[in-house]
Structure 1
C-alpha cells in the first residue's frame, strides 16, 4: 500500500488532513518533532527547520502533503509590530527546499503544497515567505500540486478574541471569505489522490462578508457587547494585508455554525 507523508500533521489543518487520509484507507506517516498519541499512523521524528530526520521520514513515501508552516501571528493569535518587518523562513522556504530535495532522492511521485490565497499581492513578511516557498515548489522537478486556501476560522477566532478587552473594536470593512480547516482538508486530500497535478482550484469559505459582519457574529456568539468602529481600507491596502475573496472551490461550514460548534459550552461538554 502506498505511503503518504504529512507535514504539519499535528496542527489544526494537519490533523484534519490526517483524519481524511487515514479514513480513505491510505498508510500515513506524520513528520513531527515528537511522536503524537494516535496509533493509526506512523510517526517520523524530524524537523523541517534543520533537516534532521527528513531523509528517513521520506523513505518509501509515494505522496507528500506539505501542510507545515511557521506563522508567528497564528501561533500567538495576534499581530505585533515586528510582524510588519520580518518573519522566519526556516520552515516555509529552507524547510520546503530540503523536503523537496530529499523527496526527489526518495522517488516521491506527488508533492502537494498547501499555500494561501492572494499571496501575489500580499505585502506582510509572512506572506512573502509563503510565496517564496510556493515558487520553489512550482519550479521543482518533482511532480507537484499547489492548493491555496483562505485564512482559517480558528485564526479569525483568535484574532477577534484578542480584542475582547477593548471597549471599542477597530475593524476593517473589507470583504473576504475565511474557511474551516475541515473543508480545506477535504479539498486537499481530493487533490492529493485524483491524479491531477499543477495549480489546483483555491478554496475559501461559503460566505463573502465584510470583516465587520464577521466580528458582529463573533460578538453575538460569545455574548460580548463592544462597539465596532468600521475602518475603511483601500483595495490595494486590503489585498496587501491578505483580505481577498477566493475564486475557486467553496467550503460548506459557515462562520456562525463554526462558532456554535466551538463555543466554550460545546467544548466543555465534549
Structure 2
C-alpha cells in the first residue's frame, strides 16, 4: 500500500488530515518535532526548518501533504507590532524548498501544498512568506497541487478571545468566510488522491458574514456583555489584512455551530 507523509501533522489541520487518511485506509507517516500518541501511524522525528530527519521521512513515500507552517500570530492568538514588519520563513520558504528538493530525489509522485486564500492582495509579512513558499511549489518539477483555504475558526476564536477583556470591541465591517479545519481536511484528502494536479479549488466556510456578525456570535456564545464598535475598512486595506471571501468550495460547519460545540455549557465565562 502506498505511503502518505503529512508534514505539520500534529497541528489543528494536520491532525484532522491524519484522522481522515487513517479512516480511509491509507498508510500514514507524520513528520514532526515530537511524536504524538497515535500508534496506528508511523512517526519520524525531525524539523522542516532545519531539514533534520526529512530524508528519512520521505523514504518510500508516494504522496506528501504539506500542512506545515509557522505563524507567530497563530501561535500566540493575536497580532503584535512586530508582525507588521517580519515573519520567520525557515519553515514556509526554506523548509518548503528543502522538502521539494528531496522529493525530486525520491519516489514521491505528488506533493499537495496547503496554502491560504487571497495571498496576492495580502500585505502582512506572514502572507508574503506563505506566497513565496507557494510559488516554490508551483515551480517544482515534482507533480504538485495547491489547495488554498480561508483562515480557520480556531484562529478567529483565539483572536476574539484576545479582545474579551475589553468593554468594547472595535471590529471591521468587512465580509469574511472562515472555515473549520475538519472541512478543509476532507477537501485536502479528496484532492490528494483524485488524480488531479495543479491549482485546485480553494475552500472557505459556508457563510459570508460581516466580521461584526462573527464577533457578535462569538460574544453571545461566550455569554459576554460587550459592545461592538463597527469599523469601516477600504477593500484594499481589508484584503491587505487577509479579510477576503473565498469563491471556491464551501465547508459545511458554520461558525455558529462551531461555537456551540466549543462553548456549550460555558456561557458567562467572562
Q: Which residue of 2 aligns with 1:68?
A: 68
Q: 5 Å matches for 1:11-160?
A: 11-160=11-160
Q: Which residue of 1 aligns with 2:242?
A: 242
What is the deviation of 1:111?
0.2
Match of 2:165 in 1: 165
Give runs of ≥4 in structure 1 deviating > 2 Å: none
Cα deviations by residue, 1:109-144 (Å, 9 ceiling, x for unpaired): 000000000001100000000000000000000100
Higher deviation after alignment, 86-95 or 98-107: 98-107
The count of corresponding residues between Structure 1 and Structure 2 is 266
Unaligned runs of 5+ in 2: none
Tell me the secondary structure at the aligned position of residue 115 of structure 1. Answer: strand
Query: Structure 1, residues 63-116: CA drift from partner, whole Å, max 9, x if none?
Result: 000000000000000000000000000000000000111111112000000000
| Distance (whole Å) between structure 1 residues aligned to residue 3 and residue 100 of structure 2 | 16
Shifted more, 26-35 versus 257-266: the winner is 257-266
Cα distance in 1, alignment partners of residues 80 and 201 from structure 2: 32
- Secondary structure of residue in 2 paired with 1:30: strand
Aligned to 2:214: 214
CA distance in 2, matches of 1:132, 1:35: 29
Tell me how far apart the structure 1 counterparts of residues 170 and 203 of structure 2 sit (CA, whole Å). 28
3-state DSSP of counterpart to 1:112: strand
SS in structure 2 of the partner of residue 63 of structure 1: strand
Superposed CA RMSD in Å reads 0.8
SS of residue paired to 1:120: helix
Deviations 1:206-265 (A, max 9, x none): 000010000000011000010111110000000011011101100000000000111164
Give the 5 Å matches for 1:191-202: 191-202=191-202
CA distance in 2, matches of 1:215, 1:194: 37
TM-score relative to the length of structure 2? 0.97
